[in-house]
């Protein structure tokens, strides 16, 4: 029969010391750990002991809503009325943050009038680090490679991507 899938959380410090948390799902625990460790090593980084960076993150509900600029404020107010803790407005969408137990309640309140792109429990950094541009590029490449591994489901980091840096990176591709 099929091998059972094992859920794993791996953590460590990536390029420039960014905190990285990896959620993996694998049928072979050792292979998954080796692949992740190899990538950390190749980028001059270290896969650490369990708990080494997880304390830097907190579990939160994250709801992403499509919107145009004129609706953003109304969506933010409705989210906060429904119990959201924080709201970030980006170009073309709004990110709503909730306590894990409030995710469903807030999602339902927003869904009545808006198009919800995603609603999930996520790990968000308690504090973020802002890197200079070339270090941000290295860190993003590392995170992309991690996400590209077969067993890796989600990758979280405490890197703060400035809009200016992201724009420059987008214009290169």
Question: pLDDT tens across 119-164, in order?
Answer: 999 999 999 999 988 898 899 999 999 999 999 999 999 998 766 6
Partners of 64 in the beta sheet?
Answer: 95, 118
CA-nearest of 59, 43, 52, 44 to 19 is 52
Number of helices (H) and strands (E), helices first, in the chain?
5, 10
Per the CB < 8 A criterion, the answer to whether 75 and 110 are in contact is: yes
What is the CATH number assigned to the segment(s) 58-125? 3.30.70.980
Q: What is the second-level CATH architecture of the domain 6-55+127-172?
A: 2-Layer Sandwich (3.30)
pLDDT, position 164: 67
**In the chain, which segments carry CATH 3.30.70.980?**
6-55+127-172, 58-125
Residue 68: predicted pLDDT: 83
């Amino acid at each position: 029969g099929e091998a059972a899938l094992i859920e794993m959380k791996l953590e460590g410090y990536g390029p420039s010391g960014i905190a990285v948390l990896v959620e993996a799902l694998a049928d072979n625990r050792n292979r998954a750990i080796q692949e992740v460790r190899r990538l950390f090593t190749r980028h001059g980084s270290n896969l650490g002991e369990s708990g080494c960076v997880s304390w830097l993150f907190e579990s939160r509900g994250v709801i992403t809503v499509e919107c145009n600029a004129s609706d953003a404020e109304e969506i933010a107010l409705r989210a906060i009325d429904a119990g959201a803790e924080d709201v970030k407005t980006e170009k073309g969408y709004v990110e709503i943050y909730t306590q894990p137990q409030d995710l469903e309640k807030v999602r339902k309140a927003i869904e009545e009038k808006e198009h919800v792109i995603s609603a999930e429990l996520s790990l968000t950094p308690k504090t973020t680090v802002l890197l200079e541009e070339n270090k941000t590029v290295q860190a993003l490449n590392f995170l992309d490679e991690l996400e590209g591994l077969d067993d890796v489901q989600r990758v979280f980091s405490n890197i703060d991507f400035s809009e200016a840096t992201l724009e420059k990176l987008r214009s290169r591709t």
